[in-house]
Structure 1
Amino acid sequence: MELFTCSVLISCAVVSILYIWRILNWVWFTPKSIESRLRSQGFTGNPYRVMTGDLKEIAVLAKNAQSQSMEFTNDILPRVYFVFHSAFQKFGKKSFVWFGPRPALVITEPEVVREILLKNYIFQKIPGSPLTSFLGKGLVMLETELWAKHRKLINPAFQLQKLKHMVGSFHLSCTNMLKKWDELAKTGGSIELDVWPYLSEMTSDVIARAAFGSSYNQGGRIFHLQKQQAESIIQANRSLHFPGWRYFPTKENKRLKNITEEIESIFRSIITARLDEEAGVRETDDLLGVLLESNAREMKENGAKFGMSMKDVIEECKIFFFAGQDTSATLLVWTMLLLSKHQDWQARARDEVLEAFGKRKPDYEELSHLKIVTMIVHEVLRLYPPIVMLARLTEKDGSSGKVRIPGGVQLMLPVLLLHHDPVIWGEDAKEFNPERFAQGVSEATKGRLTYLPFGWGPRVCIAQNFALLQAKMALATILQHYSFRLSPSYLHAPHTVVSLQPQYGAPLFLTKI
């Protein structure tokens, strides 16, 4: 008995020592080793502080950045990249920032960015924190074989022929929004209105119709819940979290859990209802129908393990609904704000639209041939990309360009910085000049990887054509019926809530045409 007790005690001691060693390695030995290797290559930054790294400083910087607006210029890097802008000022561009016990490097050379995005099996997405997993673990966050499987199954939903069928749904959502504006402006034909919530609601309706067909009316509730999720997650991610933190029964964790369960319940009911429909009656023009059809065909031909489970489909719906709505709304709001400031380009775009199809509903081909509108959309995406930073990670030691990257270092690919670089775009890099895209993206970038609003490489956004088509339809429809200019109450304050958004909304004067 004594021998057994002794063995148990020894085993417990060994386990405790191993656990303590793992913790010490995580919070001290590994970060200090990485710091030493980075400094030996000429990188500089704050000394590592146990557990917190630079998180306390980052919280202060975030508070200061969001506490005041700025002049309406496109020089938004100090406000949006407040963490890295501060590091650049203190240490130069060859610097690192500590997010807890893990450092991050900003990669500014286009060729190195190209290499990282091409080698997607080596430089992978940074695993979502337990908090960000609430938003969805679909294609955006999957890696290697799982990513390849999901990409194959989802691709058919975004083929050109499918997108052409969605033009009618896009137009319906836009005209429904304009009806609300008409009702508000009916007395004098002009009104001051914050267009940001209307554009968000409209793009939510577009995603719901395109994704779920006749079940679109449940989209509003999903949009509202996911917005709450995103705001909570952004605030929480600015703090340090211990392993298992999300399982503690805090008020915020309970709230996030309840929101997630409600969202998943809505999606499950929609998917279950669709699966219960008879095959001959099933609607397949919407994204969910195409996905389920593609999934069923794959499992029939190659076996169940090659398809998606119900949970997989729910996760893909969650991430598509959030990412599609969020990025489209931000693209449209910055487009309206910039055209409000640059009335000459607004007039040129309107003239092109009215000449092409008057005030009637355009078709896919007509939208595709809008040259000025396309130039404007590309320039807005350059100045105000929805996602301002791409992040990658290598778990093992590797190299990129001339830099030897220790395993565990985050690589930050600064989309906004590349888009605003005067060396790349010229002295007017921070000016709104759609003319630079007159001959297309390739000519504007001179073949360099300096424009990536939808990412690039094997993991380029699968829905980019969907987003561009939706934006052109919405902009054309608005230009057909309204002119708009900035309200004096507009405060320029770009900030990130997953995507780049106007912190204080977008109040404009709208005048019915």
Structure 2
Amino acid sequence: MEVMDTVGLKNIAVTLVLALFVRWTWRVLNWLWVRPRKMEKCLRKQGLNGNSYRFLFGDSKDNSEMVQIARSKPITLADDVVARASPFIHHTVKKYGKNSFMWFGQTPRLLITDPELIREVLTKNYRFKKLKQNPIVRMFSNGLGSIDGDQWTQHRKLLTPAFHLQKLKLMLPVMYISCTEMVRKWEKMLERNGWCEFDVVPYLQTLTSDVISRTAFGSSYKEGSRVFEIQRQQIELVMKSLQSVYIPGWRFLPTKNNRRMKELYDKIQSSLESIIDKKNKAMQAGESSSDDLLGILLESISNEQLQNGPRNVGMSLDDVIGECKLFYFAGQETTANVLVWTLILLSNHPDWQTRAREEVLQVFGSHGTPDFDNLNQLKVVTMILHEVLRLYPPGDTLIRKVHEETTLGGLILPAGAEISLPILLLNYDQKFWGEDAKEFNPERFAAGVSNATNNNLAAYVPFGWGPRICIGQNFAMLEAKLALATILQHFSFELSPSYTHAPTIVITLQPQHGAYLIIHKL
């Protein structure tokens, strides 16, 4: 009898193991093949075109190869930026038209180029959600830009006071200190001949890094500036991760990249924990918390805890660290790139450089200190910055995902599909910008953004749109105006013969080989 019971138990165990194996095998097969093929069939029935699904990788390998080929060849300032910076999107639209889709691994990405549909996607953020980042990317940045739902609502509420206009006005003198320090460095380099040729990229990166360090971390700005250096090292590892299909559990393998990413992650965590601890102790000692972004955020959290109780405030220490990382990367990288492309384009268009300088000198004089009110008088400078953001937006694409079947315009989107909003492609579309869409013409913004886009406002979204519009856009524009005005007060500049035009995406759109200019002292 006992033998029969033992045999019976073994049979049950074997049956359970086989059932689990069959279930697991089906789930893997469904993930890798059945589900993607069903989604492809659904999209093609609606008149959408794209490559056929290829097992596991989809279009990822083609995308990586096209990026490598594009990066191997510089272009001229008159050539197509989209073809070099976003080669696979350019190739897909050219081959299949704007109503097309691409494959990112096992997931189809629909290209959405109609501004009305873009407006709907960015407005209805409860239906069209941010992608859940793979763990490698989350180690780099996991702040407001990558969270959804109630967590996003809570973080946005707590962060908003830090970006009120009155707070930004108080930060302007600190920004100006960083600008004048860079000016002094350039003047010293120009002392001998009155001019000098150099790559402006590292100087502008240092400038914006210094600005965000001072405005985000106050007296701890020198320690904060080390965060940027670590993040620069992380970017290359993140790009490798973004260009490949993430396999669940891969981050636990002791690969060279994984070990290095973990090492850099630990360094940033330690640095930011130390900065936050110092700020908390300073606030407890009665020091002002209203002069930097971190202090304002911590004060906002403290006030919320007093009103609703500590357990009802959804922002932990790790959350604060995540937002600090985002402060740092988004605040530094975006503005640095805008300034770099602005100097390049004004070097290539000396007439606009002259107009901008004349405006700055008229408003500030040659040695006047810019303030908030007179920065708002810089109409030509504002037009130029808008045109730079059109031609060289920091991000080339916005990605969203639907988690349940939904409609968009006349399309039925299957659950799990992703939506690609090709910002760079739209910014060069003659339908919205006219026949001179590829040309640098700030005059198009003379009567404002609405007029420039023929009321298709969602055709121009350098800072996003809708509820999730970039919380730091006013900060970035204020800093860019101040920095550009300060440079124009003291210098003129032209392209160096050694300048190589090579726009490329390394998380943001930036010059692959730097920006070598010839700077002259006025």
Q: Which category of TM-score, normalised to the shorter sequence, fits these structures?
A: over 0.9
The corresponding residue for 2:509 is 500
The structural deviation recorded for 1:445 is 1.9
Task: For residues 207-244 of structure 1, give each alpha carbon's deviation from its aligned partner in whole angstroms, at most 9, with x where no partner exists.
Answer: 10000000000233211111111111112322223111
Is 1:345 matched with 2:356?
A: no
Read off the aligned partner of 1:325 and give its amino acid letter.
Q
Read off the aligned partner of 1:343 and give its amino acid letter.
P
Is 1:188 matched with 2:193?
A: yes
The structural deviation recorded for 1:92 is 2.1
Decide which of 108, 111, 118 is 1:103's aligned counterpart. 108
The structural deviation recorded for 1:447 is 2.2
Task: For residues 40-74 of structure 1, give each alpha carbon's deviation from its aligned partner in whole angstroms, at most 9, with x where no partner exists.
Answer: 11112221111011122112111101001001126
Decide which of 294, 307, 310 is 1:304's aligned counterpart. 310
Gaps of 5+ in 1: none
Read off the aligned partner of 1:476 and give its amino acid letter.
A
Read off the aligned partner of 1:404 and give its amino acid letter.
I
Distance in 1, matches of 2:420 and 2:324, equals 27
Decide which of 134, 140, 144 is 1:135's aligned counterpart. 140
The answer (yes or no) to whether the contact 1:128–1:141 under 8 Å persists in 2 is yes
The corresponding residue for 2:491 is 482
The corresponding residue for 1:244 is 249
The answer (yes or no) to whether the contact 1:205–1:220 under 8 Å persists in 2 is yes
Distance in 1, matches of 2:142 and 2:8, equals 49
The answer (yes or no) to whether the contact 1:274–1:282 under 8 Å persists in 2 is no
Distance in 2, matches of 1:317 and 1:49, equals 39
The corresponding residue for 1:7 is 12
The corresponding residue for 2:469 is 460
Please, what is the CA RMSD of the aligned residues? 1.2
Decide which of 352, 355, 361 is 1:354's aligned counterpart. 361
Read off the aligned partner of 2:343 and give its amino acid letter.
M
Distance in 2, matches of 1:125 and 1:239, equals 19
The answer (yes or no) to whether the contact 2:220–2:275 under 8 Å persists in 1 is yes
SS of residue in 1 equivalent to 2:323: helix
The corresponding residue for 2:384 is 376
Range that drifts further, 64-73 or 130-139 = 130-139
The answer (yes or no) to whether the contact 1:74–1:431 under 8 Å persists in 2 is no
Task: For residues 11-53 of structure 1, give each alpha carbon's deviation from its aligned partner in whole angstroms, at most 9, with x where no partner exists.
Answer: 3322222222111111011000001111111112221111011
The corresponding residue for 1:275 is 280
| Identity score, percent | 49
Distance in 2, matches of 1:291 and 1:74, equals 44
The structural deviation recorded for 1:2 is 4.0
Read off the aligned partner of 2:387 and give its amino acid letter.
E
Range that drifts further, 278-287 or 503-512 = 278-287
The corresponding residue for 1:444 is 452
Gaps of 5+ in 2: 1-5
Is 1:51 matched with 2:56?
A: yes
Alignment of 1:41-440 (within 5 A): 41-73=46-78, 75-277=80-282, 278-307=284-313, 308-358=315-365, 359-440=367-448
Aligned length in residues: 513
The structural deviation recorded for 1:279 is 4.8
Distance in 1, matches of 2:180 and 2:9, equals 77
Distance in 2, matches of 1:200 and 1:57, equals 32
Distance in 2, matches of 1:65 and 1:36, equals 32
Task: For residues 97-154 of structure 1, give each alpha carbon's deviation from its aligned partner in whole angstroms, at most 9, with x where no partner exists.
Answer: 1111111111011111111111100000111122211222111011011100000000
The answer (yes or no) to whether the contact 1:385–1:416 under 8 Å persists in 2 is yes
Task: For residues 401-441 of structure 1, give each alpha carbon's deviation from its aligned partner in whole angstroms, at most 9, with x where no partner exists.
Answer: 11111111110011112211111111111111111111111
Distance in 2, matches of 1:140 and 1:488, equals 39
The structural deviation recorded for 1:306 is 3.0
The answer (yes or no) to whether the contact 2:134–2:246 under 8 Å persists in 1 is no
